[in-house]
Amino acid sequence: MKQANQLEVVFKDKIRLDVLVKFIWRSKTKFILPMFLTAIISSAIMLCIPRYYNVKVMLAPEYSSGSSGGLGSLGSLAGMVGINLGSMSSSDAIVPIFYPDVVASKDFLVDLMDVNVTSKDSAFNGKYVDFLTKYQKAPFWMVWYQKVKSWVKGPAILNQAEGYKPNPYMLTKVEDEIVKGMKSAIECGVDKKTDVITLSVTAQDPLVAAQMADTVQQKLQNFITEYRTKKTRNEVEYYNKLYDEAREDYLRAQQEYAEFADSHYDLVLNEYKIIEEKLENDMQMAYSVYSSATQQKVLAEAKLRERTPAFTTLQSASVPVKHAGPKRMITVAALTLLSFIVTTFVLLYRATSREEESEDFADESMNMHESDKVLIE
């Protein structure tokens, strides 16, 4: 009864902490079993979860303005020869905020399957996809789940024929599951204010995590570079073709003029002079086209170098010394504390329930006693 009265104090408008502490202290023996079981079970579960390592890479891309004004002296040079670089410039259709979508795409992840990796203990040396399917550990419940799944649906077989490469357009179920796992292990983030790119790779082996982080960095840089310079590279290829054709025409016209002039140098007939002047004009015209094509070729190559992005590595990939997880001690402590809180609320609920039942029983006994008195009278 005294304990119930104290509980009334606890659940009033203002919670009395001292009363709650006294209640917990008197009931301390009831906390031992649930907290002990929680600590043991959570520890056993956490020990079954394999350790994993995380590697982060930070990049700061440097972009040009993409306009003739941003080309500086190159724009002035183009103006002097009568070429407008404004028509050659274009803005990016893909911005840094879309880079995480690029890294998470199936095409990008499928290309990473064939990357050769080596474990830190040198026990594994092969493709990344083989590391994911054969070398990685899993909790016992996941192992049994996969076994039951294979019994029900049949064994999942990964095509490992030499020269075979998964088709991102039509993946098998096994390949799709692997891609999903890669998507959760390989992440990309972009700071919206600074455009700093952060690549994060998680693996059960520290060396594999570092190798994959470095590979993802290189592939993303190559993708961005190829995308940004695709149009300019086409322009360079086009102007190189014009240059080669103009050079051949000029050399041919120069050869024809030289051969005719050498073979008719002592003739003074007007007919020969007209032919010689025509060949000379053709040579001058071919030279003019050749000179213009040369200038356009040089400017296109300069624009390609200008459009090629440069990346500053703020944080490079390195083999981690400590594992990133799981946080076993923190998790066990948190679950044990949670069991303590839940046990406290359960004991408080039971105590208040008993108090209400005892009050109802006392009221019912009082009513029966009064009714008996009335009957006796």
62 and 41 in one domain? no
153 and 117 in one domain? yes
Closest listed residue to residue 90, CA positions, set 191, 197, 195, 234: 234
pLDDT at 299 over 80: yes
72 and 16 in one domain? no
Model pLDDT, residue 285 = 92
29 and 6 in one domain? yes
280 and 226 in one domain? yes
265 and 164 in one domain? yes
Looking at the domain assignment, is residue 78 inside a domain?
Answer: yes
Which run of H or of E encompasses 187? strand 186-190
21 and 149 in one domain? no
343 and 264 in one domain? no
Expressed as residue numbers, the domain containing 301 is 57-315
Domain boundary residue, one of 277, 292, 315 = 315
337 and 294 in one domain? no
249 and 162 in one domain? yes
349 and 237 in one domain? no
Q: Cα dihedral sign for 216, 312, 76, 241?
A: negative
Q: How far apart are CA 206 and CA 375, in angstroms?
A: 88
112 and 236 in one domain? yes
Q: Work out the average pLDDT over 318-338.
A: 91
Q: Work out the average pLDDT over 296-319.
A: 89
Contacts of 119 (CB under 8 A, 6+ apart): 125, 131, 135, 205, 207, 208
Q: Work out the average pLDDT over 40-60.
A: 92
Model pLDDT, residue 64 = 55
Q: Work out the average pLDDT over 84-97.
A: 57
pLDDT tens by residue, 202-214 = 999 999 999 999 9
Q: Which has more confidence, 56 or 269?
A: 56
Model pLDDT, residue 21 = 77
**Mean pLDDT lowest among 62-66, 174-178, 313-317:** 62-66
* Domains in the chain, number: 2
Q: What is the mean pLDDT of the chain?
A: 80
